[in-house]
Amino acid sequence: MEAAVSLPLLVILVFGSIEIANAIFLKQSLNMAAYEAAKVITGPGDNNTLAATRCAEVLSVRKVTSHAMTISPAVTAATARGTQITVTVTASSSNLSYGPVRFMAGRTIRSAVTMVRL
């Protein structure tokens, strides 16, 4: 009787913990990707392609399959030094969602990094 009552709660607790840990891992992965892209885009020149490539590299290593990256304001070779550039990376939480319990299903996780153009 005790097992019948407590087992479902323990299963939900274990799989819920795994789901939350995966969401934290995804958030940290997005932080890393946004930082790396911002580091590239703030260098001299027009580095939009390099920033997108670096973001994709970081996320592919961390097994994040789909993401979106935006850079604000748009950076060109003529963008003035000292301009604050914000790189935002978003991904669906279903990227790293496993198991029968999906508390984070349908949610989008976002990370933004702001750096000054060199």
Q: Mean per-residue pLDDT for 66-91?
A: 94
Q: Tell me what pLDDT residue 58 has.
A: 97
Tens digits of per-residue pLDDT, 15-29? 888 888 988 999 999
Q: What is the pTM of this model?
A: 0.88
How many folded domains does the chain comprise?
1
**Residue 96 predicted with pLDDT over 80:** no
Domain range holding 34?
Answer: 2-116
Q: What is the 3-state secondary structure (H, E, C) of the chain?
A: CHHHHHHHHHHHHHHHHHHHHHHHHHHHHHHHHHHHHHHHHCCCCCCHHHHHHHHHHHHHHCCCCCCEEEEECCCCCCCCCCCEEEEEEEEEHHHHCCCCCCCCCCCEEEEEEEEECC
Tens digits of per-residue pLDDT, 27-44? 999 999 999 999 999 988
